[in-house]
Chain A
């Protein structure tokens, strides 16, 4: 899995990665919730929305794409590290099923 910055004018706020092929999103989301993520109301069919430590994590069921939207209050110098912490958690949830 690889963390990629989504480049636009918002300084280091948007990032993304992909779940490994075949990783079931429902099951993965449940595991993320059991590790402290909060499930947010669905806005779009096929799009799971979670929040972890104030940052939003969106998962596209059809492709396994995971978008990380950092809390806008994260200070600029800390954004890269914040994204890496979320990514690390995503990797951890993917690789280690248990809490």
Chain B
């Protein structure tokens, strides 16, 4: 799929800070977040069930996307559809795949540079050995592509990853066979995403031009010949928020049912995913040559850094994030009139009885920490030691309170971050 064809179905809703491929919402996340997210799902559900839930969530999310794509491109034959799916997946930065399947859906998917497998090997491969493959997203995508290419019902194909780069195999190989898979679940679409009218916060004049610059940049970003996007010193994916949401909420609901005593640990992990995201994705964007070209050198100014982070959140498709109140060194209020978590929750499960925007809450805290505790002008190394020094244990120094949550039926989501001690 050439970049022009992708551009034709890609839109960004400036008012809501959301990005779409056709009807399908997507966000940009880097490999740090993606790996942390999937690991957390497996921690909560166990490896076998985790892989099953992740595969099904990816299948459902990609099925919607591919359906829209095939319709837009008028792709009719199985070959056309498979080719288009592979191109789109690679353009999104997930890696180049080769899908081979019989008309009844049995077959295999291979890839030598799949985002999850390759990035796991890069990030953790020298530190720990792994027992289980990591490419459930590719498996789910492949199932969706084959189901739609051969016009099969969803829920009848199973995937088993036989080889994986993360297991030190030379490539990833996923086998597909017929079997009883989880039933398809409804996913969120552009037209079913509820949001409140956009509001203006602090520093809007500063934020908006940066958002436009970043959107222009991201519009031209596509996978390289291996289907990888290496930008901002990280590996980036355009990923489907339906995948993230379906997996997080499934895992949290199950944890609350089966081990309520440790549901708090699960919440903390998903909030931590927000820290991981902001520290790595946002931090690496700020320190990147791309950012320096667009905005200039970084000041050691908490207000400027927070404004930059809001601009990044909006352009990555996280929603319309704003800061209505900010007191340097004391308090930060993050408000979202739209974010990518709450609409999914409401749509699938109805109004929540507790806060559910975990990643947004974690990101709010990370905004305060990055604004106040990092000397950006010194171009710090965003490594594990630095992360630990900022976010681990008692040294954190900031606390969050979710005052409003759209998943609970409030008009906006609002998180108050306060300096402690």
Contacts and interface: CB of A to CB of B under 8 A. Distances in A.
Chains A and B touch (C-beta atoms under 8 A apart) = yes
B401 interface: no
A6 B233 contact: yes
Contacts of B118: 72
B294 interface: yes
B122 interface: yes
Nearest to B221: A43
Contacts of A46: 293-294
Interface string A60-78: 1111010101001000100
Interface stretch (B86-94, B258-266, B284-292, B323-331): B284-292
A43 B217 contact: yes
B384 interface: yes
A93 interface: no
A14 B289 CA distance: 11
A81 to B, nearest CB: 18
Contacts of A44: 213, 217, 290, 293-294
Given A43-B220, A46-B293, A69 B383 contact: no
A11 interface: yes
B233 A47 contact: no
Interface in B103-133: 113, 118, 122-123, 126
Contact of B383 (A7, A13, A62, A63): A7
29 contacts: A7-B381, A8-B284, A8-B383, A9-B32, A9-B383, A10-B123, A10-B233, A11-B122, A13-B122, A14-B233, A16-B289, A41-B220, A43-B217, A43-B221, A44-B290, A44-B294, A56-B230, A58-B289, A58-B290, A59-B289, A60-B289, A60-B293, A62-B293, A62-B296, A65-B289, A72-B122, A72-B226, A72-B228, A72-B230
Interface of A: 6-11, 13-14, 16, 41, 43-47, 56, 58-63, 65, 67, 69, 72, 76
